[in-house]
Amino acid sequence: MNSPNDRTFQTCFEILGFDVLIDENAKPWLLEVNHAPSFQTDSELDLKVKKAVIMDTFKVLGLNRASRKKNMERIQRETKLR
């Protein structure tokens, strides 16, 4: 992954899904790591957790409406130059 300060929009990332079991002593046990976790939601809690993961990912990547607009303008400029 490129630096978080890279605003060229050539950054790659992957969201991983961690399945963790917490035992009676509150000790976490890693069961598996999914390279393509499902973002389908089956409950309100599921929606809340997965939405937070996606929103936090956007924040880490520095993606927001202003950056999207700036990127679209850059693409349009580059297209006109071709």
- % of the chain surpassing 70 pLDDT: 87
For residue 72, pLDDT beyond 90: no
pLDDT band at 10, cuts 50/70/90? low
Distance CA 56, CA 61 (A): 9
Domain ranges, ordered by start, for the chain: 17-81
Q: What are 20-55's pLDDT values in tens digits? A: 999 999 999 999 999 999 999 999 999 999 999 999
Integer CA distances (angstroms), 16 to 25, 54, 56, 60, 72, in order = 26, 11, 13, 15, 28
The model carries a pTM of: 0.59
Average pLDDT, the chain: 86
